[in-house]
Amino acid sequence: MALAEAGGRGRLLRWPRVLLFGDSITEYSFQENGWGAYLAERLVRKCDVVNRGISGYNTRWAKLILPRLITGSTGADSIAAVTIFFGANDSALKELNPKQHVPLEEYAANLKSMVQYLKSVDITADKIILITPPPLQESAWEKACLAKGDKLNRCNATTGQYAQACVRVARECGTDVLDLWSLMQKNQDFSSYLSDGLHLSAKGNSFVAAQLWSRLENKLSALPSLLPYWRDVDHANPEASLL
C-alpha cells in the first residue's frame, strides 16, 4: 500500500521512443553488435528504442501495420524518431519471388503513404528517416538461395532502382534519408558489409549504426537523461529527488 501511495504522488515516467520499423534487417538489429542494439545503448535513460522489424515483409504489408503501431491517441507525442527501412523484399524479382515483390512505383507510393500517415498523427518530417536497402552481393545471395532449393531471386541493379526511389520519396516528403545502397558501394568491395549477400554482417551493422547515429545525434542530443544521477539523489529525502 505504501508503495502504491508513493507511486501515486509522482508523475508517470514516460520515456521518449525511437521506433525502428522495417524488415529482417531491422528485426535482426538487436542481435549482438547489431545496429539497433548500438542505438539502444547510446540512448539508454534518454529513449526507449523499439524494434518493430518484421522479417520478410514489404511496404505493401508495412503500410497496413503502421497505423496499428502508432496512433494519435496512443503516444505519437512521445515519438522522438522513426526509421522506415524497407526495400530488400520489395525489390525481389517478380518472376522468381512474386509473394514479396512490390512494383517500383507502388513501393515509392507506399513509402510516401507511410510518411504522410506519420505526419497526420503529428510526427514531423524532421523525426523521420528513410533507409534504402543495402546493395545485394549476388554470388553470396545465390548460394543462400541454392541452399534452400531456390534460384537467385534478386539482383543488385534492381535493388539500386528501389534505393533511388526511396531517396526521391525522402526528398519529396522533406525527410532525412540514409542511402545505404550508395554509401556501401563507395567501398569497392562491399561484400564485407553483408553476411549472406543480403543481410548485414558485423561490419555492416557497425556501418549502419555509425551512419544512423550521425543523423540521430543532432535530433536527440537535447533530450535529458531521465531521473537524476545516483550521487545527486537526496539520500535523506529521496522523494524530493525522485517524485
The span from the CA of 14 to the CA of 1, in Å, is 23
| Catalytic hit among 101, 179, 195, 199 | 199
Spell 47-86 as b/e; 16+ CB within 10 A means b.
bebbbbbbeebbbbbbbeebeeebeeeeebeebbbbbbbb
Segment (H or E) for 155: none
The span from the CA of 211 to the CA of 105, in Å, is 27
Q: Find, among 52, 158, 67, 82, the residue nearest to 113 by Cα.
A: 67
Q: Find, among 202, 216, 184, the residue nearest to 33 by Cα.
A: 202
Segment (H or E) for 142: helix 138-147
- 198, with CB counted inside 10 A (0-12, 13-18, 19+), is buried
Q: Is 101 one of the catalytic residues?
A: no
Laid out side by side, the sheet with 176-178 consists of 48-53, 17-22, 79-85, 128-131, 176-178
| Catalytic hit among 48, 192, 196, 206 | 196
Q: Is 196 one of the catalytic residues?
A: yes
Q: Is 199 one of the catalytic residues?
A: yes
The span from the CA of 141 to the CA of 134, in Å, is 13
| Catalytic hit among 24, 113, 182, 201 | 24
The span from the CA of 214 to the CA of 202, in Å, is 18
Q: Catalytic residues, which ones?
A: 24, 196, 199
